[in-house]
Amino acid sequence: MRVRVDVGARLHVGFQNLSLAHERLYGGVGVALESPRVALEAEPAVGIDCPDTLVGTYAERSCELLGVDGVSIDVVDALPRHVGVGSGTQTALATLAAVARAHGKPASVRELAPSLNRGGRSGVGVASFEHGGFVVDAGHPTERFTTAPPPAGEWTVPAITARHDLPEEWRFLVVLPDADEGRSGETEDESMRSVVENADPSIADSLATLLIRRLLPAAAEGRLEAFGDTVGDFGRLNGAWYADEQGGVYRPPAGRLIDELADSPAVRGVGQSSWGPAVYGVTDRSLAGDARDAADAALSSIGVDGGVRVVRPRNDGARITEIQ
């Protein structure tokens, strides 16, 4: 059976807690997007046939986990890597889902994600792949997840504590400046270890207030201005934890872009996704053109090239279809 898997990017607004002084650590907050996206087509094969090295590696591991001989897999669309839009998790899970469906094998991406080394700190990427929408996850017990994840096989993807569809008329501005890649792998692990060891616990208390009193009600009721403004505040507080590691509340050049976009009436809640350099903002369908123009002007003002998208939120999970 030949199958196709399509899934969009995700924005990572931030974590609820990075301090070892609290009972739970991490707890991701994020949003699923329609695009940019990863799209894969796959069919059974003997061995691994894939021109993309990363996807080929995920395919090999997926075949091992599922007990199948192999797969031929083509990358139709790819997410930009290490820019803050969730390329690693979405690509890994899309590969796993493609291999499983091509072979007619049942597979839970949530259960198998840890075996692909995905969904450790944040569960937002896995939840976005499964269900889309605005997602909040439960994080991990601090005594088990300290400055590094436990050994493989001793942890699970954080549970979803809240999820809401977002209104169809909402749009998300996504700006990808031409800049150094965000942190990943061992570099990210080292940076996160330093952040967690030095995190101010009082920031988590402020974030809890934002989440419960403002962000969740705004998402549930579909109030764009309140949602956007609170997302911006949530991301800014998160940035205080990372300031020593990334050179400020936002990493360059994201900080300058955010400053330029902050005064635009077409965009609310401007922030940095994950380690960046991706910058996002919240707008709606009627203001999409103005938001795009504001982003183009902001890039020009700081003298940086880059790409600009205005995209829909995605309120469903990955789409898996059979190809005749």
Domain count across the chain:
1
DSSP 8-class letter at 101: H
Amino acid identity at 189: D
The confidence band for 143, taking pLDDT boundaries of 50, 70 and 90, is: confident
State the pLDDT at residue 149: 66
pLDDT digits (tens, 9 = 90+) for 48-69: 999 999 999 999 999 999 999 9
For residue 156, what are the contacts with CB-CB under 8 A and spacing of at least 6?
Answer: 110, 111, 114
- Neighbour count for residue 210 (Cβ, 10 Å): 18
DSSP 149-173: PPSTTS--PPPEEEEE---TTEEEE
pLDDT tens for residues 230-279? 999 999 999 999 999 998 999 999 999 999 999 999 999 999 999 999 99
Residue type present at position 236: R
pLDDT for 183 beyond 80: no
Confidence of residue 180 (pLDDT cuts 50, 70, 90): confident
What is this structure's pTM? 0.95
Residue 182 has pLDDT above 70, yes or no: no
CATH number for position 272: 3.30.230.120
Q: Which domain holds residue 126?
A: 2-323
Tell me, what's the pLDDT at 255?
A: 95
DSSP annotation of 78 reads -
288-302 helix and 254-261 helix, angle to the nearest 10 degrees: 130
Summarize the confidence of residues 190-199 as an average pLDDT: 90
